[in-house]
Chain A
C-alpha cells in the first residue's frame, strides 16, 4: 500500500471524530450558542465509552452512554450559560477543564489498556476500484456519520425545524415574537452538540485508536470548533474540512512510518499549524464570514 492509498483508505475514519464534534458544534452555533467545551465533552465521552467497552458492555452501549454523559455535561453548560446568562466563553472553558478532569479521573486505572475496535464493512464493487477503493471500506460508525451528515444538511435545507434553529440564532427577539421558545431551542441545540461530541470522543477511544491514554483527544475538540468557522456554518463545507483534517493527520502518520526525515514533533503539530493557517485564510475573507455567520452568536438572550 503506498502513502496515497493509505491516506485515502483511512481518511474517513480519521475524519469522523472531527466531523461528529464539528456537526454538533455547528448546530449549537446555528442556534446562537458558542460552546467552547467540546474538548472536554469529547474527553468525557471517550472515557465513558472506553470503560463500558473494556468491561464487555459492547460498542453500542458504549456509544449510547458516551452520548448521554456528554449530553448531561453540555446541559450543565446550558443551565449556566443560558439559564444564568453567564459569559459563554467562560462557561465553555470551565466545562472543557471539568470534562478533561473527569476524563482523567475516571480513566486513571485504564491507562494504556486496549479494547477491540469495530470490523470494516466494504461496499461491493466500489471497494475494488484501484486507489480510491479504500474509501468504501469503513466501519459502521463511519457509515452512520455520513448518513447523519446528510440528514443534518437536509434538516437545515428543507425542514421547518432547521429554519427555527436558524431564526433563533439569527434574530432571537424576532423568533420570540413569532412565538418560538428561544431558550428551549437553544437548550436542545446544545444538548445535540453535547451528544455528538460524546459520540466523537467514543469513536476516537473505542474505534479509531482503541487504547486509553489520558489526553487522547489532543486538541481535536478545538479543531472541531475551528472547523465550524472553516465550513462557514455549512454542513457540506464542514464535511470537506473534516476530511482535510483526517487526511492531514494520516499524512503525518504516513510520513512518520516512511521514515521521512522530519521531526515527529513537527508532524504532530501539523494539524494545529494547518488550523492556524486555514483559519487565517478563511477569516480574512470578512464578507464570507458575514454572509454565513450567526448574528447573535455568543450573546445571552433575555425573554
Chain B
C-alpha cells in the first residue's frame, strides 16, 4: 500500500500523568460544545438561537429574581449529587435517586398530613430528618439486593424509582388526596410551621440551601479527609487491593447507598417543606436523574459539584425562560442535559489520554 492510501488517523495515547489542567477545563469546554450543538438543533427547529441562548444561559444570572430561583433549584440538585458522587467514586451506581427523593417527600409529608393542627418550630426539622431517613430506607432495599442477593444495583435502584412514582400516585389519588382539593392529585396545604424558614427575605430561597452547603462540606471532609471515605475510594479504584487490605466490600456498598438515599430523601423533604408546601405530583421532575449529570460534571468532587449544581439549576430556570420567550419545548432541557454529559465524557477522556496522529497501519513511516 502506498503512503497516500494510508491517511493520518488520530489515535488516543495514554498520558504518563493525568492532566489536571484538562480536568479543570473539561466542564467549560463541554458546556461550550453542548451549547453549540443544541443551538444548532434549535436553529433546525426554526427557533432564533440567539434569543434562546440569551433566555437559557444568560437571563438566569441577569436579575436577582431569577438568580434567586436558580439558588432555590440548586439546593436539591446539590444535595442529591453530593450523595450520589460518594457512591459513584466507590463504583456503586445508585441511579434511582429519584425514587429516594420521592420517598423523602412522602415520609416528610406524613407529619403535616397526619397532624395538620400541630404547631411549633419542631415540625420542619423533624420533617427533614424523617424524609432523609425515608430516602435511606428506600435505598437500603437496593443495598440489601446488591449485598445479600448479588443483584445489579443499577437495575434495582431504577426499578424502585419507578415503583416510588406509582406509590406517590397512589397516595395522591387515594388516602392522602385533599378532600377539598377539587379532585386534584395533591395533598392538603401544610401548616406554617411545616415550612422551612426563608433564608433570603423577598425570595423563595430557604434554609435548606444552607443544609445543602453543610452537606457538601461534610462530603468534602468525608471523601478527602476521612479513612472511611478513603476506603470507599480504594474499593472503587482498585477493588482487589481493597480486598487484600481487608476493606469490607459489602459495608462500602451499604454506606454508599445509605448516604445517597439519605441525601436524596433530605432533598425531597426540603421540596415539600419548601417551595411546594404540599405533596403533589410535580415533586418528581427528574432531579434524581439530573443529579447524576451534576455529579459527573462536577468531577465527582464535592467542590466541583457545587459549581455544576449551580449550572444545572440555571439550565432549568433558563429552560423555563426559553419556553416562555422563545417557545422552546421543556424537553429541550433534557436534550441539553444529555448532550452536556456526553460532551463532558468526551472532554475528560483527554485527562488520561492525548491525541496523536499516526498512519493507519502500525505507524510505519511514509
Contacts and interface: CB of A to CB of B under 8 A. Distances in A.
B152 A283 contact: yes
Contact of B149 (A100, A226, A284, A302): A284
B166 A268 contact: yes
B293 A94 contact: yes
A286 B336 CA distance: 40
Contacts, number: 146
For chain A, give the interface size range: 35 or more
A280 B153 CA distance: 10
Contacts of B155: 222, 225-226, 229, 275, 279
Contacts of A283: 145, 149-152
A176 interface: no
Interface string B160-184: 1011001101100110000000000
A225 B163 CA distance: 17
B166 A98 contact: no
B95 interface: yes
A272 interface: yes
A97 B148 CA distance: 30
Per DSSP, chain B at the interface is: helix
Nearest to B93: A89
Given A101-B337, A104-B331, A266-B170, A94 B159 contact: no
Nearest to A84: B349
A279 B166 contact: no
B163 A269 contact: yes
B338 A97 contact: yes
Interface stretch (B122-130, B262-270, B339-347): B339-347
Contacts of B174: 263
B149 A222 contact: no
Given A84-B345, A222-B159, A275-B155, A265 B335 contact: no
Nearest to A77: B342
B170 A265 contact: yes
Nearest to A91: B345
Contact of A222 (B150, B158, B293, B331): B158
B335 A93 contact: no
A86 interface: yes
A83 B330 CA distance: 32
Given A265-B166, A289-B150, A93 B341 contact: yes
B6 interface: no
B329 interface: yes
A87 B345 contact: yes
B154 interface: yes
Contacts of A84: 12, 345-346, 349, 353
A85 B152 contact: no
Contacts of A281: 149
Contact of A90 (B329, B333, B341): B341
Contacts of A276: 145, 151, 156, 159-160, 163
A186 to B, nearest CB: 15
Contacts of A89: 93, 154
Contacts of B149: 279-281, 283-284
A105 interface: yes
Given A101-B335, A265-B167, A90 B159 contact: no
A266 B345 CA distance: 38
Contacts of A91: 342, 345
A80 B331 CA distance: 23
B332 interface: yes
A79 to B, nearest CB: 8
Interface string B270-282: 0000000000000
Contacts of B166: 265-266, 268-269, 272
A77 to B, nearest CB: 9
Nearest to B171: A265
B215 interface: no
Contact of B163 (A86, A101, A273): A273
A36 interface: yes
A76 interface: yes
Interface string B296-320: 1000000000000000000000000
Interface of B: 12, 14, 93, 95, 145, 148-152, 154-156, 158-160, 162-163, 166-167, 169-170, 173-174, 289, 292-293, 296, 329-339, 341-342, 345-346, 348-349, 353
Given A272-B162, A283-B152, 10 more contacts: A40-B338, A90-B345, A94-B293, A94-B339, A103-B331, A223-B159, A269-B162, A283-B149, A284-B149, A284-B150
9 closest A-B pairs by CB: A98-B338, A101-B334, A104-B331, A101-B335, A94-B341, A97-B338, A265-B170, A84-B349, A86-B345
